[in-house]
Chain A
Amino acid sequence: MYLVESKKITKIYQTEEVAITAIEDVSFTIDKGSFVSFVGPSGSGKSTLLNMIGCLDPPSSGSLQVVGQDIGKMSRNQAASFRGENIGFVFQDFNLIPVLSVAENVEYPLIMVQNWPAEKRKKRVAEMLEAVDIRDQANKFPGQISGGQKQRVAIARALVTNAPLVLADEPTANLDRKSAERIVDLMKKMRDEFGTTFIFSTHDPRVVQRAETIFTLEDGRLVSLEQGEGGNHA
C-alpha cells in the first residue's frame, strides 16, 4: 500500500471572474519511507499539491489517499485531527511560535494536538531535541537562535508526534548554502532513523538532487518523474 496515492487530481480556484486551474489531472504514488521532492517554477502548483497532500485543501476532483484516508471527504475538524496524527509540517519561514521556547515549540503538538501526559511528553521532546542536535538551545526562544537552528526545531516539531509523513514547503529557501545542506542531511537522517516519509518542494537545484524521487511540475501538470542522486544513497 502506498503512503500517498493520487489519481487524476485537479484543483480549480474559482474567483468571481475566472476559474484558475492550479493542478490538473495529476496522478502519482509515494511509498512509505520515501524522500521525495516536488520541483518546478513559481506557479507550477508545488505548494498547492503539498497543501492537498497535507490535508489543508481538498482536491476539486480526483482521488487523493494519504495514509490510507481519502482526504477529500473530511470535515474541518476531522482534517485537523488527521493532520495532528499523521502529518508534520516544515515551513519556509520556520513558523515557530515566538512566545514559546525551543523545547515548548517542539512540545506544542503533544499538548495542543495529541494531549500526551507530561512525563512522556518531556521525555519525547528531549529525544527529539537530541535527534536534531539542538538540546543545548532548549530554553532559548526562537528570536535567540539562527535560521538553521530554527529549521531544526521545526523538523523536531514535525517529527515529535511520530507522524508517518512530513511535508516541507521550501524548507531551505531562507537558509544559506551550508545550513541548507545540513537541513537536508538532517531530514534524510530522520527518515533513516524513524522511517518517516519526507515530501518537500524546492527551487534549489542542489537540494533537488538530494531527493530520491523528483516530481517535476509545470503549469499544474506533472511532467516528469526521475530518480535523484539521493536515490543511490537510499
Chain B
Amino acid sequence: MLNILKIATRNLWRYKRRTLLTSILITLGVMSVLLFVSVSGSFKNMMVGQITDSMLGHIQIHKKGYLSSLDSLPLDRNLSEKQMKKVRQVLEKDENVEAFSPRIRLGAMFSNFAETTNVRLVAVNPELEMKTVPLLANRIIKGKKDGLIGRGEILIPELVARGMKVNIGDAIVLVASNKDGSVNGQTFTVRGVLEGIVGPGGRDGVIHIQDARELLRISSKEVGEVAIRLTKMNKLQNVYDSLQQQIGSIKNKKGKPAFEIHTWEKLSPFFNIARMIDLMTLFIKVMLVAIVLVSIMNVMIMAVYERINEIGTIAAIGTKPGKILSLFVTEGLLLGILGSITGIALSLGAIAWMNATGLSFDFGRQKGLLLAPSIGISEIVMVAGIVIAIAVLGSLQPAIKAARMDPIKALRHV
C-alpha cells in the first residue's frame, strides 16, 4: 500500500499545475462550506440563544387554546392553581429541566398622567424568571439589572419609553381589566427600559407576578404560561416527548387535552429562518460535492487518457487490474485528502481570525451583534469525509476504465 501511495504521489506531482489547481478548487469548496457552517451556525445559535434565553425559554406549557387566542391575552385561559401544581410536580422531577418560570400575560392601559397608550406586559417571579431566561436582564438598556424586577416596579419597552417620554424613577399608572370585565388601576415606578427584540413577547414590558395578580384581582395562584429552561438544548425533543406523555395526555372534564406544550421552534418565527439556514448549508454541501466530483473526475479522466501507454506497460508486465484500479483511486484519494486538509487548516485560521477581529452584524433593530464563529469536530470530520468519499467516487470511473484497458491497445496508443 505504501508503494502505491508513493507512486500515486509522484504521478500527481508529475502534473504539478493541474494537481495544484484541482487542490485549490477542492480547498475553496471545503473552506466555503466550513466558513458558512461556522458563521451561519454562530448566527443561528446566537439568535436562538437570544430568543430562548431572553424571552421564550426552551419549552412553554399553556392551557389548551391559550396560544391560539394569545393576541387577546386571554385571562380566562390561565392554568388553575391545581393544574399548575400538577405541572410543577412533573417539572421538578425531570432532571433535564434546569428551571421553570410561571408567567401571566396581560394587556393594560399605560398612563404617564399626561398621555395614555396600550401596553402588553408579562408578569414574572423575578428569581424564577432569571433562572429560566438568564439573558433577560441583558435586555435592560437603562436602569438596574440586578434582581430584574421588584414589587411596584415596571420594566417598560423602549418604544413606549421613547413615545411616552418616560424616564427611570418616573411614576406611571397601569389600568387593566380582569377576566370578569371590571377595571383596576395601580401605580408603578419605572425601574428600567427594556430592549425590544424580534418575536412574540419581544416588545412586552415586565412587572412582578404578585403585582399582576393584585392588578387583575386574581386571588388564586393561577398562571398564563410556564416557560421552561433545559439543562441541555439537545434534550429538547426528549423533554418535549416526556412532557407530552405526562402532561399533554391529561384530559379536562370534556375529555379533551387540558394542556398544550410547545417548543420554542413552534413559538418563534425565527425557527423558519433557522431552517432556511440549514437548507442553505445543505445546498452549499451539495455544491461542494459537485465541485469535488467534477474536478476529480476531470483530472482523473485526463490522467488516464495521458497515461494509456503506461497503463499498457504495467498491465503487460503483470500488474493485476485491481492494482491498476487502486493506483488511480489512490491518486483521487490523495487529491481529496490534500484539498480537505488545506481547506480545513485555512478555514480554522479564518475562523480564528474572525474571532480575533470581532465580526459584528445588525439583525433587525439589534445593532452590533458580535458573531463568534466556531466549528465542531463532527462537522469537520463530516465535510472531510464527504470530500474524500466523493474524491474516491469521482476517480472510480476513470480507474475502472484504466483497469479494464486492453494492454495491447494501450501499448499501441500514441
- A-side interface residues toward B, CB under 8 Å? 51, 54, 56-57, 76-77, 80-85, 87-89, 91, 93, 95, 97-100, 108-109, 111-114, 157-158
Partner of A56, one of B4, B314, B408: B408
A108 touches which of B13, B316, B317, B411 (Cβ 8 Å): B317
Q: A82-B318, A84-B320, A95-B313 are in contact. List 14 more A-B contacts (CB 8 A).
A: A80-B318, A81-B318, A83-B316, A84-B318, A84-B319, A97-B313, A99-B7, A99-B10, A109-B317, A112-B3, A113-B319, A114-B318, A157-B317, A158-B317
Cα distance A82–B320 in the bound complex, in angstroms: 10
- Contact in complex: B408, A51 (CB < 8 Å): yes
* B310 contacts A by Cβ under 8 Å: yes
> Nearest Cβ in chain A — how far from B65, in angstroms?
74
Partner of B321 from the list A76, A82, A108, A111 (CB cut-off 8 Å) is A76
Top 6 closest pairs, chain A to chain B, by CB: A84-B318, A99-B10, A95-B313, A113-B318, A83-B318, A111-B3
**How far is B313's CA from A100's CA once the two chains are assembled, in angstroms?**
14
Q: Which residues of A contact B310 (CB under 8 A)?
A: 95, 97-98
B11, B316, B323: the one contacting A112 at CB < 8 Å is B323
* Alpha-carbon separation in the docked complex, A114 to B317 (Å): 11
Interface residues of B in 265-317 (CB under 8 A from A): 309-310, 312-317
Contacting residues, chain B, for A111 (C-beta < 8 A): 3
**Complex: how many Å from CA A112 to CA B314?**
9
CA distance A93 to B412 in the complex (A): 11
In the bound complex, what is the Cα–Cα distance between A56 and B319 (angstroms)? 12
Determine if B407 is an interface residue (Cβ-Cβ < 8 Å).
yes
Nearest chain A CB to B300's CB is how many angstroms away?
16
**In the complex the two chains form, is B315's CB within 8 Å of A100's CB?**
no
Query: Which residue of chain A is the closest to B320 with respect to CB atoms?
Result: A80
A27 and B411 CA atoms in complex are apart in Å by: 26
A-B contact pairs, 6 of them (CB 8 A): A89-B317, A91-B313, A97-B314, A109-B318, A111-B3, A157-B317
Query: For the complex, is B14 an interface residue (Cβ under 8 Å from A)?
Result: yes
Chain B: CB-nearest residue to A77? B320
B313 touches A80 (CB 8 A): no
Instruction: Tell whether, in the assembled complex, residue A56 and residue B316 are in contact, meaning their CB atoms are under 8 Å apart.
Output: yes
Q: Please, which residue of chain A has its CB at the minimum distance from the CB of B10?
A: A99
* Contacts between chains A and B (CB distance < 8 A), count: 69
* Interface 0/1 of B7-30, CB less than 8 Å to A: 100110110000000000000000
DSSP majority for the B interface? Answer: helix
A83 to B407, CA, bound (A): 12
Bound-state Cα–Cα, A77 to B403, Å? 11
Distance between Cα atoms of A51 and B409 in the complex (Å): 11
Max count, chain B CB within 10 A of own CB: residue among A56, A93, A112: A112
Q: What residues on A are CB-neighbors of B408 within 8 Å?
A: 51, 56-57
A223 to B29, CA, bound (A): 65
> Across the interface, which residues of B come within 8 angstroms of A112, CB to CB?
3-4, 314, 319, 323
CB A98 to nearest CB in B, in angstroms, measures 7
Residues of A within 8 A of B320 (CB): 77, 80-81, 84, 113
Q: Return chain A residues, CB-CB under 8 Å to B323.
A: 112
The answer to whether A77 touches B321 (Cβ under 8 A) is yes
Supposing A51-B408, A56-B407, A91-B411 touch, asked if A99 and B318 sit within 8 A by C-beta, the answer is no
Chain B residue nearest to A114 (CB atoms) is B318
Contact between B314 and A99, CB atoms less than 8 A apart: no
Digit string of B248-278 for contact with A (CB within 8 Å is 1, else 0)?
A: 0000000000000000000000000000000
Within 8 Å CB of A158, what residues of B?
Answer: 317
- B325: min CB distance to chain A, Å: 12
CA distance A140 to B3 in the complex (A): 19
What distance in Å separates the Cβ of A122 from its nearest Cβ neighbour in chain B? Answer: 13
Cβ A113 vs Cβ B317 within 8 A: yes
CB distance from A225 to the nearest CB of B (A): 26
**With A97-B313, A99-B14, A112-B314 as given contacts, are A80 and B7 in contact (CB-CB < 8 Å)?**
no
Contact of A83 among B11, B317, B411 (CB under 8 A): B317
A56 — which chain B residues lie within 8 A by C-beta? 316, 407-408
**A150 nearest CB across to chain B (Å):** 13
* Distance to closest chain B CB from A45 (angstroms): 14
Q: Are A80 and B411 in contact (CB under 8 A)?
A: no
Q: A57-B408, A95-B309, A100-B10 are in contact. Are A89 and B316 (CB under 8 A)?
A: yes
Task: Give the Cβ gap from A108 to chain B, nearest Cβ, in Å.
Answer: 7
